[in-house]
Amino acid sequence: MEKIIVRGGRQLEGTVKVEGAKNAVLPVIAASLIASEGKSVIHEVPALADVYTIKEVLSNMSANVRYNNNTVTVDASKPLKTEAPFEYVRKMRASVLVLGPLLARYGHAKVAMPGGCAIGSRPIDLHLKGFEAMGAKVHVGNGYVEVHAEGRLKGAKVYLDVPSVGATENIMMAAALAEGRTILENCAKEPEIVDLANFLNKMGAKVIGAGTETIKIDGVEKLYGAEHTIIPDRIEAGTFMVASAITGGNVLVRGAELEHLRSLVSKMEEMGVKITEEADGLRVIGPKKLKATDLKTLPHPGFPTDMQSQMMALMLNAEGTSVITETVFENRFMHVEEFRRMNAKLKIEGRSVIVEGPVTLQGAEVAATDLRAGAALILAGLTAEGYTRVTELKHLDRGYVDFASKLATLGADIERVNDDGEVILDSKDHQQTSAS
């Protein structure tokens, strides 16, 4: 079985560079489908499994997609198929982000219904509610969701019951070509929403207010391909910040944007971690002793759910009792069982986990239950006694490029082995070649 093997005890030191953000690049590539003229050129595209999946989704619709040297080029000017089958949506839920662009451009889109996943049921009712408000008809059946509109969508007032990232993105993309103004209220404020709005505006859209809770979109008749550079991945940055802190290390996380990471920086500082802003990133120095703290995940600018499991690993090494409350997803504690296999003292109480620290973590064979849990288990392994073997790496590869190699460069004792037990590089160079 393919696995990452880490032996604890090394302090990390050096510099690590953050890739472009997975959660920004997926909607931006989906948005490139709206351009009926011109090519989109997208830079700083990380070589992630999810990027290869969205590339396949678009290629399957007959868009011309190329991926070379971290740049994706999309030519969607020819007529497109308006369907994303289950084989893609099963691999990556973000495939549903093609609904908005296709509906806007063709008045039709059909996408396999995403099921639940290891972190919760994850419905898309708010995406659909937004499309309906703009005049589309929604039909769900045989495992698919199909949306239709007669003529152009109509601008509308849409209030989101919860500030869903995906719904904000899908509705914003659909509204970009609608007739008249759409006002989207209680929307998500994540930096990735702002990145998508910037890309849409470069394409000729009229989106204002992204990053606040009300976004106004004045629909235009046509959008054009545009050039764009993806923002740095704040979750990958945060993961390496925890890697430094947990090992008592001293790491410069290049590309980490303080503005995107304020809630994490403030929590880590409460725990005694020293974080300083440098010209090209954040320097993170781990203390001799970490202090316990409490955190609650919330929509941005609150604490990101995608950093919850990594912080659990950090809290296991802190002195005292910490409490983590997960409010974004109803079931994002699957990693607790895996941490317990490493001797962690964790108690689940409703939507909270009580973390008793510090514990001497013991190396064990553990499975990544989702992509962030995979990273978190490796972080725990950096401080555990003996060897930690992390399996189910397909999750990790969705969101991290060369995770083991990057940690090794910082001094971690870590390697990745394939099914036959041979040591392999975890670079996706081979995928770059075959996918380009």
Ligand X SMILES: CC(=O)N[C@H]1[C@@H](OP(=O)(O)OP(=O)(O)OC[C@H]2O[C@@H](n3ccc(=O)[nH]c3=O)[C@H](O)[C@@H]2O)O[C@H](CO)[C@@H](O)[C@@H]1O
Site of interaction with ligand PEP (CB under 6 A): 23, 93-94, 119, 306, 371-372, 399
- The token pair at 40 is 């989109």
How many CB atoms lie under 10 A from the CB of residue 407? 27
CB of 23 to ligand X, least distance (A): 3
Distance of CA 147 to the CA centre of its chain: 26
Q: Which of 41, 113, 117, 258 is catalytic?
A: 117
Q: Is there a catalytic annotation at residue 117?
A: yes
Pick what 371 binds: ligand X, ligand PEP, none; C-beta below 5 to 8 Å, kind-dependent. Answer: ligand PEP
| Distance between CA atoms of residues 158 and 279, nearest Å | 40
Total site size for ligand X, rule CB under 6 A: 20
Peptide bond into 27 cis (omega under 30): no
Residue closer to ligand X, measured from CB, 36 or 53: 53
- Secondary structure (3-state) at 323: strand
Residue given tokens 């990471």 in the structure block: 261
Residue 66 in marked binding region: no
Give the interface segment with ligand X, choosing from 140-148, 160-168, 215-223, 312-320 (CB under 6 A). 160-168
Residue 124 interacting entry, from ligand X, ligand PEP, none, C-beta within 5 to 8 Å by type:
ligand X
Burial 102-136 (b: 16+ CB within 10 A, else e): bbbbbbebbbbebeeebbeebebebbbbbbebbbb
Residue 289: CB atoms within 10 Å: 12
Candidates 69-77, 163-171, 240-248, 341-349 — which segment interacts with ligand X by CB under 6 A? 163-171
Q: How far is the CB of 24 from ligand X (least distance, A)?
A: 8
Position 5 contacts ligand X (CB under 6 A): no
To the question of whether residue 216 is assigned a binding role by annotation, the answer is no
Q: 296: alpha, beta or left, given left = phi > 0 and alpha = psi -120 to 50?
A: beta
Task: Report how far residue 242's alpha carbon sits from residue 268's, in angstroms, rounded to the nearest whole number.
Answer: 8
Partner from ligand PEP, ligand X, none binding residue 162, C-beta < 5-8 Å depending on class = ligand X
Tokens coding 319: 């002195």
Q: Which does 297 bind (CB under 5 to 8 A by kind): ligand PEP, ligand X, none?
A: none
- 3 is annotated as contributing to ligand binding: no
Residue 90 in marked binding region: no
Q: Which of 330, 45, 371, 327 is nearest to 239 (CA)?
A: 371
User: Which partner, ligand PEP, ligand X, none, binds residue 173 by CB below 5 to 8 Å per kind?
Assistant: none
Phi, psi angles (nearest 5°) of residue 382: -65, -20
Under the criterion CB under 6 A, does residue 26 sit at the interface with ligand X?
yes
Residues in binding site for UDP-N-acetyl-alpha-D-glucosamine: 93, 122-126, 306, 328
Q: Given the rule CB under 6 A, which residues bind ligand X?
A: 23, 26, 94, 120, 122-127, 162, 164-167, 188, 305-306, 328-329
Catalytic residues: 117
Residues in binding site: 22-23, 93, 122-126, 306, 328
Residues in binding site for phosphoenolpyruvate: 22-23
